[in-house]
Amino acid sequence: MVSQGKSERKNYIVATIAVIGLILTIEVTQMIGMSNVYQQMHQQSSQQLSNLVGYIDNILGRFDRIPKVLSKHPLLSQALISPNDQSKITKLNQLLSDIRTMTQASDIYLIDQKGITIGASNWQLPTSFVGMNFTFRPYFQDALKGKLSHYYAVGLSSGKRGFYYAYPVIIDDVIAGVIALKISIADIEEQYKKTVLNDSFNFLIVAPDDVVFISDRPEWRLKTIGTLSEAKQLNLIAEKRYTDKEVSSLNVVDISNHYLPNNLGSELLEVTSSKGSEEVFALNKLMKTANWQVHLWSSVVPMKKQQNLLIILSASGYLLMMFLLLFANERLKNARRLKQSQQLLEKKVKERTADLSASNVKLHEEIAQRQQAQTQMNKMQDELIQSEKLALIGSMSASINHEINQPLTALRSYSENALAYQERSMTDKVKNNLSLIIGLVDRLSDIVSQFNSFSKKSTGIATTVDVQMSLMAAMSIVKHQAKAAKVEFTNKPCLDPLHVYGDAIRFEQVLVNLLSNAIQALSEQEYKQITISVSDVKEHVIIEIRDNGPGILVDNIDRVFEAFFTTKENFGLGLGLSISHRIIESMQGQLNVNNHPDGGAIFTISLPVNR
């Protein structure tokens, strides 16, 4: 009981330490991994934010000089001096419309000293500014002070967000009116989304009044980040900056965790809007030209996926390490027990009688004899495979001789011609004949090398085998035999490269055996064709070799793979298909044969794909 209590207490301590180690491993991995993820996101966000600020600055800067240049146009002065002269007002409206088209501004309009619009580019539209009073607009008031002013607001008649430029029109050193230009904020948003913005980012531009004036997300526009002060609310109402549109607040909560490095200047926020809640990685930057705070938000969903992956990887690694430690400990215990058992066994063996010792010696001798017999059997099997390969090469000797005799005959002819040309000092023709002789020697070398490679003994070492390359090598070996027999090959390879695991030389021998048998089976056919197809079916390589011969007798089809069974008179030992069947089985595959419905035999090799 005391021993059992100590064992339980020890197991409890080990389990507690293991759990604490797992928690610490996950936490350390999270600290390192998520810090890198956040730094990478910060770098991407910073680049995107700089692009955004530069883009907005460039757009706003393009229109800065237009009101000042336009204010000096004589038509503006003439219209302000004679506002009742309809012909001048018409020319003014047409001028403003043309300039609006050229500059791609939203609207351009001229306001007199009293704040009444006397001409506008939209003078023919229902939303025309003509006759409207803009004295309440700060950009009009600032322009009357003699300087270029900027302003952003929602248009009174159009209801669209715009950025305004205003510049005084001076006549005889007196400010007689203001020329104003409006650009559409919606156009800027849309253009930026199409040309620059990455799909994984969203942007908000917050004005000094804390209202989100520009955003690529409609549900965030005209919202405030946090609550507005009472003074700012009263100022918005007085300026009619956002007309009658309701300005509500976005519920933004800082959810930054300890994995986010403090030196990045970024935040993790939970944003709640009309479309629900979402968590974002937030970065902001001040755009000094317009005094706007530009925010860039990106979803943390990809980062959370990486965080979950880190948890899985760290936990899996830790558990694997613990498993290895436990396994090593168990191995050590088993080794100790085994050593103790061996020592006990040795002690008992020594106590045996001399007869038992003699029996033991005899038993060892029998085991040695069996091992020697097994080794001899394996050697005989290898020799038998090699003999079958050489027999197969012998069966193809006629076609090989024919293939070699042609280059040899040509070699003799070119050599005799070269001697004749040499005697006549025709060096160019001698050189040409020697080049032809070299080419024929190379051809002979290629033919012989194919059969040398095939006739080599297998090393017995399994490797990754390229199915298509082995098939092409086998076809190359039997091509002379096929050519002599007038057999046509049709090869239907798989589009993707396929590999199996096994002995490449033996696998090639199987293919050569099957192709050679198919060629012999077509000896009585008028039109001879062999079709080879390779496919990938359910993680298995399927190789089909079909001939259009007479097929296999139904009584013989179950005996095809038996050793020494053959239907060929005075040819072979009947071992080719039996050996091929064993080689494919040793590669964890199957070799089957059937008669095709359209005639002929079809041999099918099925091997597991080696990924």
**pLDDT confidence of residue 165:** 92
| Residue that has been written with the tokens 């339980």 in this structure | 8
Contact 158, 126 (CB under 8 A): no
> What is the sign, positive or negative, of the torsion defined by CA atoms of 348, 351, 353, 354?
positive
- Phi and psi at 460, nearest 5°, equal 80, 5
Which of 11-15, 178-182, 441-445, 521-525 is modeled with the greatest confidence? Answer: 178-182
Q: What is the mean pLDDT of the chain?
A: 80
pLDDT in the model for residue 376: 64
Tens of pLDDT, residues 355-385: 667 777 787 888 877 777 666 655 555 555 5
pLDDT band at 412 (very low <50, low <70, confident <90, very high): low
| Burial status of residue 573 (CB atoms within 10 A of its CB: 0-12, 13-18, 19 or more) | middle
Partner residues linked to 105 by β-bridges: none
Quote the pLDDT of residue 236.
67
* Confidence at residue 22, expressed as pLDDT on a 0 to 100 scale: 81
Distance of CA 421 to the CA centre of its chain: 64
Supply the pLDDT for residue 118. 93
DSSP state letters, 549-586? S----TTTTTTTTSTT---STTS--S-HHHHHHHHHHH
- The class that CATH gives domain 197-303 is alpha beta
Mean pLDDT of 342-366: 78
394: enclosing H helix or E strand: helix 354-395
Mean pLDDT for the stretch of residues 47-75 = 86
Amino acid at 162: G
- Closest to 509 in 3D by CA, of 384, 608, 380: 384
Q: Judge residue 168's burial from the number of C-beta atoms within 10 Å of its C-beta, 0-12 exposed, 13-18 middle, 19 or more buried.
A: buried
Give the residue, 242 or 142, on which the prediction is more confident. Answer: 142
For the chain, what percent of residues have pLDDT higher than 90?
14
Instruction: Calculate mean pLDDT across residues 173-194.
Output: 86
Residue type, 292: W
* pLDDT confidence of residue 439: 63
**pLDDT for residue 414:** 57
Identify the residue with better confidence: 198 or 507.
Answer: 507
pLDDT of residue 477: 78
H or E element that contains 175: strand 174-184
pLDDT mean over 533-554? 88
pLDDT at 267: 84
In the chain, the amino acid numbered 99 is I
Give me the pLDDT at residue 56, please: 83
Distance CA 224, CA 209 (A): 9
CA nearest to 473, candidates 486, 491, 494: 491
pLDDT band at 562 (very low <50, low <70, confident <90, very high): confident
Residues sharing a CB contact under 8 Å with residue 477, sequence separation 6 or more, in sequence order: 396, 450, 451, 454, 508, 512
Condensed to tens digits (0 to 9), the pLDDT of residues 447-499 reads 555 455 455 555 567 889 898 988 888 887 788 778 888 888 888 888 888 89
Q: Is 9 left (phi over 0), alpha (psi -120 to 50) or beta?
A: alpha
Residue range 424-449: average pLDDT?
Answer: 68
- DSSP notation for 519-557: HHHTTT-SS-EEEEEEEEETTEEEEEEEE-S----TTTT
Q: Full-prediction pTM beyond 0.75?
A: no
* DSSP one-letter string for 287-349: ETTTTEEEEEEEESHHHHHHHHHHHHHHHHHHHHHHHHHHHHHHHHHHHHHHHHHHHHHHHHH
Please name which of 37, 103, 115 lies closest in space to residue 67, comparing C-alpha atoms.
103
Alpha carbon dihedral 384, 389, 390, 393, in 10-degree steps, equals 160
Task: Decide if pLDDT at 3 tops 80.
Answer: no
Place of tokens 């490449």: 504
The CA angle 69-73-79, to the nearest 5 degrees, is 135
The CATH number of the domain covering residues in 459-608: 3.30.565.10
In the structure, what pLDDT confidence band is assigned to residue 561 with cuts at 50, 70 and 90?
Answer: confident
Looking at the DSSP bridge assignments, the partners of residue 464 are 501
Q: Which tokens belong to 47?
A: 């680049």
- Using CA atoms, how far apart are residues 378 and 139, in angstroms rounded to an integer? 100
* pLDDT score for 393: 55
Lowest mean pLDDT of 14-23, 198-207, 529-538, 583-592, name the range. Answer: 198-207
How many percent of the chain have pLDDT more than 70? 82
Q: Is 430 helix (H, G, I), strand (E, B) or coil?
A: helix
Q: What is the pLDDT of residue 119?
A: 93
Residues 6 or more apart from 17 whose CB is under 8 A from it? Answer: none
pLDDT at 70: 92
pLDDT at 365: 80
pLDDT tens, 591-608?
998 888 888 889 999 999
Do the domains at 197-303 and 459-608 have one common CATH topology? no
DSSP state of 264: G
- Integer Cα distance of 177 and 379 in angstroms: 111
Among candidate residues 200, 222, 199, the one with its CA nearest the CA of residue 209? 222
pLDDT tier at 91 (50, 70, 90 boundaries)?
Answer: very high
Model confidence at 426: pLDDT above 70: yes
Domain parsing of the chain, residue ranges: 197-303, 459-608
Token pair 């090593």 is found at 328
**pLDDT computed for residue 98 by the predictor:** 93
Please write the tens of the pLDDT for every residue from 262-292. 777 788 888 887 777 888 888 888 887 778 8
Residue with tokens 């607009």: 137
- Distance separating alpha carbons of residues 71 and 14, to the nearest angstrom: 85
